[in-house]
Structure 1
């Protein structure tokens, strides 16, 4: 990829610009975030050259075809370019480009390059601009577009109508939208999408009016996102879905048979928004709606603006797993408002959000639950460091190109622990003032680790000596955990840890009545602290007394199944097969298949038999991860 000199002072660094619409004579103002030009902000996952020419606005006009599992139509792109720029480079992964024209309908030459060897990055789409600053791309996305999951009616709760949802993070949206697919290149967007009746369509933009009946068995839906967002946050879902309001600006979509349970589970959302605003400033996106997707959705949640996507696996019937909702809401500030410029700085999204999530949980559900969830997060960090080594490069928060993260325990939990340590070191009042100004001063802009490091030195630490005491550089750039980490309250799990010790020493199982009264965090803690090796008789006794295999809480059920399968417990296999057949969340699916494969001649045949039946129902991201688990080493 051709690099551009970083020292160039550019028009592209302005915070606002004028772009042109299709008739080439009416100006349209679009807020455009600065393009960062430091070396640590160069995104190697994109072919774009945004310092030369960048997309500022995307207008989609698309049709959903459920018979062929394809989406296609046109994408109109507004472009901001350097004087004399001769081309713009976009990202594409499998897109079939039929024609490219300028704002007057004149053909523009284009080339679709060779795909990267790993297949993930796709290929560059280079368009010769001439003097054009607006282009229209006629295209079709492939049936195998990695961002899109087309579900048959049998894969839905209703069983009558098909379903579609997208998952764009990190670089999958280039498989259905031709644009510059990089978190640092923020773009406003709008869309017109047609779908067969009676399906409803939602997107991560504000719906404009009621759907238009086209008279041919289809309806058209219109959406606008007038705030610049990173392209991975453009999302769509379509299916037999209904809506139920929660508060004046909050509500939830779900399939009709799921809607009441979903609505009960997320009923505290309006309170969460109020709590979040009191902490770190106004919610800037208008509405905060959610959609509970079918179980094939590969993540717990996805923070798509104005329409958070949620897995149904968080529905426990008692709101014990609604930290997920708090997390996705918190992304409306950290991630959506201020975004990591490159994926090597993902902790700026997820770590900050995880800290913010816990503060929301504290406000809405109380300090006991918040402290317990902090303790679970800390335990995850310790376990990860024991697994990979405290000096493993992947355990640093910042990951320069070529260094992979050690996983979510680092990006999410260590990132949150960093902010929690700062809060306890300088006091909550000072820390909250700093974090709020960070969101305010960098709103709708990309950021890097270097930027937050300098901001902490300038706006949080009182002097260089305090900055040194806070170990800012060590936290961000060094592996492992700094010595000043704020450890969780040892009393958070005092009772449950005592019960776990009693089981470990004397196999004393908690009374069923006590187990039922524990919080979900307490039950998870107990399951995590059980001995790694247990006999079939011991597992049977645990299940009989605590009804573990019958749990409606998927976090707890997962922990039980992983423990049982690791001990080759035959009675757990049917429940595991059932679980893997209806849940597509990668957090659960990949570890369970990995556990089975690690059991050699007992587990591998079970894993292969189940995967042969379930693979087609998983999202491409989940499939890719499990495929690696199932592959035999050479």
Structure 2
């Protein structure tokens, strides 16, 4: 299968050097060795090329790759040049290869030791403490630091890989493993993977370490370090049920297996939707499945994002907003309408908070932006989801579900743009001019702010909690039912109580609600954020321990930010902690904290 390339002006990806209309990559075959001593990946990448008649060259993306040689399928050397790197950083440099009629390119190369997509963990950074660990994070344009290809979401590619690693480490990838690992007799083993469906290249992912597998259902299971596996398995044990619910909503799951790997806590995101092998942070494990909306979200990406993908990153809401809506529908099917409505209400609060902070007319609050990201996840994720909730409320759930299913079916394994999404809605969903006006689709997608027709969440979803917030603010009354509340209710309470608290008030709150001892990291984060904003010294050791273990950017960046905002009190604490923790963070997390704290002196 060769996916199409979109050629409309809004589908041009400014973050790639590739010229896919001239020559494009359709398949990548990797043969790589993992070297944990030097923290390097190296070997060969064999690319299958589809070129227009008369095309003389192909342009790939590279960021720090060390190219040894380029040959064609017959072993004939091909000239190549590495261009000047983009002075703004991130985009890397163009790797231009003379084709001379070649349809296959074989590139011998090594990735740099500081490849931004790869994080090499020492044994001390793992739960087991004996073996090293490696994982990748390719989104958005980081895979060009370890794979020479056209690194654009609109240029989908099939791929295969042979990876060698030292025993006894296991390797998993975002492709289907072929058979058992092959012993090479030199203390190393070879693992083979295939992804026979075209995917955007940011979804090529790898992890290697001391990991074991435990099945959940006939097509689902979880990998994790042995010390984490049982807890992880119990937490994600609803996954097979989620897959069934997702299929009932929007059609067949098309990737075969749905496995997950719970990575060490240095992983910078909550989850990453790599096909057939979702990557997850251990920070979602709460012991009660209260944070399993994360699993539902990554599963939903198997349709929105992986099956139909934004062609350019300025349309990332097509991945994230559609997925967040889908996630909420899975949560409703598996855990009930009340939980789904509460989680939707938290999303809506995120939108309002972001708009209050940046302004209703800030350009980055439009869903579709020119070549950049939206202003925070509340736009791409939550505003995107509320567009779909609003459409559903206007046209009815049955009609809306029929339309969304056909969107996935008719654009499967293809890139998409906001304009294409809008046109499809107008052609296949909207009935009549009055309904078109009621939906306000162009305003939702292409203009900033939150349209007036937004379908607001049910105010009753948090009525009890909101009353408790009011009572606490007025009299300091602490809700006695807090322990029986859902996690969403506890998060709502912690996020809405008065922000200015004395040390005595914070101590009382912690003692009554057990905040510093919670096993739910979403709730712990809200407590630590509140405590630091009030310069609550007893929380500092816990913050220090938390930031030393957890690399999830969602938690790490805001905690450093609130410390930094405390001036003479917080900045020395932030500098001291970051000097110790920066080396253990993924490049994604480091970049965010560097912008707040600055890079510590060596």
Normalised TM-score (structure 1): 0.94
Does residue 244 in structure 1 map to residue 214 in structure 2? yes
1:466 deviation in Å?
1.4
- Return the match for 2:446 from 472, 477, 481: 477
Per the TM alignment, residue 406 of structure 1 is displaced from its structure 2 partner at its CA by 1.0
Give the alignment partner of residue 531 of structure 2, picking from 564, 571, 574. 564
CA contact (8 A) 1:292 1:309 kept: yes
Deviation of 1:404 after TM superposition, in Å, equals: 4.2
1:22 is aligned to: none
1:173 matches 2:143: yes
Q: In the alignment, does 2:507 pair up with 1:528?
A: no
Residue in structure 2 matched with residue 28 of structure 1 by the alignment: none
Q: Which residue of 2 aligns with 1:134?
A: 104
What is residue 574 of structure 1 aligned with on the other side? 541
Determine whether 1:118 maps to 2:101: no
User: 1 CA distance for matches of 2:319 and 2:2?
Assistant: 20
Give secondary structure in 2 for the equivalent of 1:356.
helix
2:377 to 390, 408, 412: 408
Farther-moved stretch of structure 1 (623-632 vs 344-353): 623-632
Give the gaps of 5 or more residues in structure 1. 1-30
Partner of 1:200: 170
Cα separation, 2, equivalents of 1:439 and 1:629? 40
- Is residue 590 from structure 1 mapped to residue 560 from structure 2 by the alignment? no
Counterpart check, 1:46 vs 2:13 = no
Q: Which residue of 1 aligns with 2:44?
A: 74
Q: Match of 2:264?
A: 294
Structure 2 counterparts to residues 213-252 of structure 1, below 5 A: 213-252=183-222
Instruction: Tell me by how many angstroms 1:464 deviates.
Output: 2.8
Cα distance between partner residues in 2 of 1:445 and 1:465: 31
Say if 2:491 and 2:523, in contact at 8 Å, map to a contact too: yes
Matches within 5 A, 1:411-490: 411-490=380-459
C-alpha contact (below 8 Å) 2:313/2:373 kept by paired residues: no
Matches within 5 A, 1:25-424: 31-401=1-371, 404-424=373-393
Shift of 1:487: 0.3
CA separation of 1:384 and 1:43: change in aligned 2, threshold 3 A: same
Instruction: Provide the rounded CA distance (Å) in 2 between the counterparts of 1:327 and 1:63.
Output: 32
Distance 2:83 2:12 in 1: 21
Q: Report Cα offsets for 1:62-116 as digits up to 9, x if no partner.
A: 0000000000000000000001100000000000000000000000000011110
What is the CA–CA distance in structure 2 between the aligned matches of 1:360 and 1:580, rounded to whole Å? 32
Q: Is the 8 A contact 2:235 2:289 kept in 1?
A: yes
Please state how far the C-alpha of 1:461 moved relative to its aligned partner: 0.4
Query: Using the alignment, how far apart are the partners of 1:353 and 1:433 within structure 2?
Result: 16
2:569 to 602, 605, 613: 602
Are the aligned partners of 1:252 and 1:291 in contact in 2 as well (CA < 8 Å)?
yes
Q: Post-superposition shift, 1:631?
A: 3.2
Instruction: Say whether the 8 Å CA contact 1:288–1:307 is kept in structure 2.
Output: yes
CA–CA distance in structure 2, aligned partners of residues 508 and 465 of structure 1: 50
Q: Secondary structure at the match of 1:193?
A: strand
Any runs of at least 4 consecutive aligned residues in structure 1 with deviations exceeding 2 A, and if so which?
Answer: none
CA RMSD of aligned residues (A): 0.7
Q: CA offset at residue 33 of structure 1?
A: 1.1
Question: How far 1:552 sits from its partner (Å)?
Answer: 0.5
Distance 1:375 1:135 in 2: 51
Q: Does the aligned pair in 1 maintain the 2:316–2:373 contact within 8 Å?
A: no
- Give me the whole-angstrom Cα distance separating, in 2, the residues matched to 1:55 and 1:337: 19
Offset at 1:32?
A: 1.3
How far off its partner does 1:400 sit? 1.2
In structure 2, distance between residues paired with 1:119 and 1:408: 23
Tell me if structure 2 keeps the 8 A contact 1:457–1:464: no
